[in-house]
Amino acid sequence: MKNLEGRIGTIILWLLLLTAPYWMPLFGGYTGLGTRVLVLALAAMSVNFLLGFTGVLSFGHAAFFGLGAYGAGMTIKYIYASTMLGLAIGVLVGILGAMIIGAMIVRLRGVYFAMVTIAFGQVFYFVAFRWSSLTGGDDGLTGWKRVPLDLGVTQIDILHNDIAFYYLVLVCVAVCSAAMALLLRSPFGRTLLAIRENERRARFLGIPVDKHIWMSFVCSAAFCSVAGALYAYLDNFVDPRAFRWEQSGDFVIMAVLGGMRSFWGPLIGAAVFVVLQDKISSVTDYWMSILGLLFVLAVVFFPRGVLGVVKRKQGL
């Protein structure tokens, strides 16, 4: 019964996502807002892959988000104007960065791991901020834009058609979600859960814990790099703030708000966070304080997140 209800919920969720550009305007939304929710939801899901299913907290995932964003934008500006090539290079740059950083910090745990990831994120931030001749510095990387997708027989205009770009992002999110689900259901994913529940016992069973955490870190960073590249395409712009630790904090907030340790929780959390941010910021300049207060209340009264509350009421 639980599996059946879970599948029905997933089907309803995807139906809502597939039809979002058509029903969002009825509730005061717009297609660009839906696209932003998807992009940031993917980043939050990547953080949850490491935090919720491996038990390792990273406050530096903005590093890979920014690498994906700058990798995509700089590819189009300096190498070749191709949306998919930019996406591929952005992800490869993020994966390479994660492989190197992960190898250096994989033996750290708890707050030490989190703090070092923040430090690496800030290193990338200052590089992007100072190297203005390449990255544009504080003004951001400009003078480029995503280009239509050339399918040979036809082209899909994702530059001027917001709905077409929304569905491109939705396809990317669907592919990444399927990859996450397959990984978590594989023996590798079951091993990550064992490490999360009891790392010491996992070591006694002969599991190479550090190796699996490194692999989880790299996989998580790869998904976050995809989100970063799509984020750059969203506004045809990227600046050093993509690397800031506050960005990583937002991803963690979305994961916790929606329901950590649940697969779709970060998506729900991202939707709540982004929509509230959009609405509250249009009313007051103190929107960050209000969002912070709402997050504190959510953690205190709903520690399992929005999705956790729904499941509890349904007796799941």
What was the pLDDT predicted at 298? 78
Domain positions in the chain are 31-247
DSSP assignment of 191-240: HHHHHHH-HHHHHHTT--HHHHHHHHHHHHHHHHHHHHHHHHHHHT-B-G
Q: How much is the mean pLDDT over the chain?
A: 90
Residue range 44-99, pLDDT digits in tens: 999 999 999 999 999 999 999 999 999 999 999 999 999 999 999 999 999 999 99
Q: What b/e readout covers 204-237, taking b as 16+ CB neighbours within 10 angstroms?
A: eeebebeebbbbbbbbbbbbbbbbbbbbbbbeeb
Question: First-to-last CA distance in the chain?
Answer: 9
Residue range 18-53, pLDDT digits in tens: 999 999 999 888 999 999 999 999 999 999 999 999
- Asked whether the predicted pLDDT for residue 315 surpasses 50, the reply is no
Question: How much is the average pLDDT of 268-292?
Answer: 87
Q: How far apart are CA 24 and CA 18, in angstroms?
A: 11
- Band of pLDDT at residue 5, cut at 50, 70 and 90: low
- Band of pLDDT at residue 160, cut at 50, 70 and 90: confident
What was the pLDDT predicted at 264? 92
Per the model's pLDDT, the better-predicted residue between 285 and 129 turns out to be 129
Percentage of residues of the chain with pLDDT beyond 90? 73
